[in-house]
Amino acid sequence: MPKCLEGVRVLELARVHAGPFGGMLMSDLGAEVIKVEGLHGDDTRNINPQINGESVYFTSYNRGKESITLNLRTERGKQLFRELVKKVDVITENYRPGTLAKIGIDYPALRKINPRIIVASLTGYGQDGPYAPRPGFDMVVQAVGGMMDLTGFPGNPPVKVGVAIGDYIGGFYLAVGVLGALRRRDTTGDGEHIDVSLLDGMVSMLEYFVPIYLHTGKVLSHVGNTRVDSVPCDTYKAKDGYVQISGQRGVIFDRFMKAIGHPEVLVDPRFSDRKTRHLHREELDAIINEWVGSRTRAEVVETLSESEVACGPVQNIAEMVEDPQVKHREMFIQVDHSKAGKLWAPGVTLKMERAAKTKPGPPPMLGEHNEKIYGGLLGLSADEIAELKAQKVI
């Protein structure tokens, strides 16, 4: 039973977070992903914590890949890269616009070598426009893209999302773009250049906040843990922590009020529909807070889940890792690393019924697959590979 991307070979020039995350998604789907690193390796190899000199952070974006070293500042390094281009389907990169053109390996140049090549370029702001030359990192893009102003509570400073959401969504779009380009190539035989922008990805996630502004002129800001059009939907304090409850829709609201022992709310004109509930949010939340506050998180979740009301505890990282549903879905796995021993790594998010399952391997050590790729794929001899190392080309 084949994997979805079995037979697809990806050359990953992308570094740090967003691009490597997209490459890992393709690896999970069965692609062979060859990570091309400079002689000192990806920057994330140096991030703590480390086990026997190997960064466990690096694992989060690079498990299941192969690693080769290559110095693209040398003519011989560029020659080797062009030879590799003939052997691969996809190249991912996240250099600033124009960088690869300066060294002669941008998409127009690579297309001449391999017309079927798909190049996915991921940058902060895209390949064109007034911001294109600027460096763009996740938190800056969260700020420029409107996300930071929406996050947090009224009266407080802007807050970033807890994780590098801009990098993650950029990696997702990169992988989706490659999948689309591969499908198109199946029918046309032609390659593609994909332009992925972290800012574009961030803006695409702003759901109804943008239409509200464009159609009404109203700017929403610092919306906290609720939703502007949905009441009740918020974080409520239990005896031992917090729970998030979403009980705003139709029959779900009915079940919610009955479950907490307040059926009279259902005939109160202040709470008759979503619009009136929004106007009387504080009164309704007071009823819910009183009920939740007298119970533990587990008691709240058990009662509301039995009534088919969406709710869940606000868990810290330790609680989430030990959560039985997370464990059942195998969202964290152990991989055997030749130097660091057993490492925890993110599990495969995409579960497919008919495609062969991917069993991710460990993250590669720097240059671990030089002999395999340069010798096996390009046919270089052991002496030639040794000479390349001596000349600091690889």
Query: From CA 325, how far away is CA 319, in angstroms rounded?
Result: 11
Six token digits for residue 250: 């139709």
Query: From CA 29, how far away is CA 104, in angstroms rounded?
Result: 31
Closest CA to 90 of 169, 159, 17, 184: 184
Residue 200: active-site member: no
DSSP 8-state code for residue 344: E
CA dist list (Å): 288 to 45, 132, 228, 249, 311: 47, 49, 18, 16, 13
CA dist list (Å): 310 to 233, 245, 318: 10, 6, 22
Contact 320, 326 (CB under 8 A): yes
Query: From CA 347, how far away is CA 195, in angstroms rounded?
Result: 28
CA dist list (Å): 15 to 77, 104, 213, 280: 18, 19, 36, 50
Phi-psi region of 341 (alpha: psi -120 to 50; beta: other; left: phi over 0): left
Burial tier of 79 (Cβ tally within 10 Å: 0-12, 13-18, 19+): exposed
Closest CA to 65 of 387, 335, 272: 335
Give the DSSP H/E element, type plus range, for residue 235: strand 233-238
Q: What angle do helix axes 18-28 and 165-188 make, rounded to 10 degrees?
A: 50
Active-site hit among 89, 138, 149, 167 = 167
DSSP, residue by residue, 174-210? HHHHHHHHHHHHHHH---EEEEEEHHHHHHHT-TTHH
Active site residues: 167
